[in-house]
A and B are shown apart, each in its own frame.
Chain A
Amino acid sequence: MLILLCGIIFLHVAALALLFVSTIVSAWTVSPTSSADLWVNCSSANGGYNCDTLETGVWIQAVQALMILSIIFSFLSLFLFFCQLFTLQKGGRFFLTGAFQILASLFVMSGAIIYTVMSPEWVPPTESFGFAYILAWVAFPLAFISGLIYVILRKRE
């Protein structure tokens, strides 16, 4: 059963890492000359490679906030998992951990949905979605499954 524990922790950490990479790396929309993400627009036209901060729209800020919140909640869920591992009674379920992880997955989902829906406003049609965007979409089911596993997990002495 130690394998199960390690597997669950590995899944959780993988989801967290995907969230981190997706939020930070500048590759939500890419084109041959430029890449953009939640924070900056980088383009390598005109010879140099320069980035400038994204124009401040309401929706892009909402996406930023949701991604950061999902990272925070996933961290809290990991921390709570270790807390509950040592303090839960025998046969108890990891409800709190699972709830936080599911909340994190919901935040990622809403962030990715908002970005998908509003991106025609920000992104010219010639640009395509980059890998950080895909990672966000992959992190959502991963985190969701991880949260569900926590809910059905029971503590055995």
Chain B
Amino acid sequence: MPLDLTHSLHSQVSPSLFLSLVLLVSALSQAARRGRQTEAMLTLLVLTAVVLLSAAPRSDAIVVYTGWERHALVGSDVRLSCSFFSWRWTSEDVTFSWSYRPDGAKDSISIFHYTGGAPYVDNKGPFRDRLEFVGNPARRDGSILIRNLDFSDNGTFTCDAKNPPDIVGRPSSVRLLVFEKVPIQAGVITGAIIGVVLGLLILVVAIYYLMRFLVARRVFSLSMSKHGKKGKGKEGSQQRQKPKVPLVYLSF
């Protein structure tokens, strides 16, 4: 990590950055000399932010994003998305590659390649006539669509994207699971039932207290308008008995 830091500091201290740093430092010293504290603090803040941002490890690595797992039904279509993050602009020589490794197999087979502005889909392998390129390389999207899934399509799909000169990076994998019917995740229904019942309980309690509050307010306003201050004297006489152990008895 420290190597990255010094490397990025050396390679990215461009003239414009240097000039802005000089201006900020001079503004800071002027504000400090004039005794304007808030101005000085603000400039210091901006200065720190600029230094930190410029020193952030902007290593020339490309980061590829796919999903983690995809669930699909037999016979349906699934869209496997792949996109990447790179500090460089999207070049014209951007390439996307998809490869497939069946569950339990050791080797992977290449099924899709996009290069030189043209997609090349699988025409011999397990996905011939089923694969389609639905991505947009200009927007860094290299997604593919697989039609008419079968149980033999279970496996791991790996997407590798390269954006020259940004080529150092790790490919990313998404696992495809094909089901006969989509299973419900554990705990979804449990949580739903518990949540609904407790929610109803809280709702009933809230409505009860609301009604009581409204009724009490109406009764209070009625009694105030009729009796004025005379009604208040009666409420004070109800005393609070000291809390002994209360006793209970049964009665039908």
A56 B184 Cβ-Cβ under 8 A: yes
A65 B248 Cβ-Cβ under 8 A: no
User: CB within 8 A of A152: which of B184, B192, B193, B250?
Assistant: B250
Give 1 or 0 for each of A6-28: 1 = CB within 8 Å of chain B CB. Answer: 00100000000000000000000
Report if A1-B249 is in contact (Cβ < 8 Å); known contacts: A66-B193, A157-B241: yes
How many residues on chain B are close to A (CB under 8 Å)?
Answer: 24
User: CB within 8 A of B194: which of A8, A69, A154, A156?
Assistant: A69
Q: Is the interface of A mostly helix, strand, loop or mixed?
A: helix
What's the Cα separation between A152 and B250 when bound, in Å?
6
A74, chain B: closest CB distance, angstroms: 14
B199, chain A: closest CB distance, angstroms: 12
- 10 CB contacts below 8 A, A to B, read A1-B247, A1-B249, A5-B247, A55-B183, A56-B184, A69-B197, A69-B198, A72-B198, A154-B250, A157-B241
Using Cβ atoms and an 8 Å threshold, which residues of chain B touch A2? 245, 247
At the interface, yes or no: A53 with Cβ under 8 Å from chain B?
Answer: yes
Partner-B contacts on A (CB < 8 A): 1-2, 4-5, 8, 53-58, 61-62, 64-66, 68-69, 72, 85-86, 149, 152-157
What's the Cα separation between A41 and B2 when bound, in Å?
50
At the interface, yes or no: B116 with Cβ under 8 Å from chain A?
Answer: no
What's the Cα separation between A4 and B247 when bound, in Å?
9
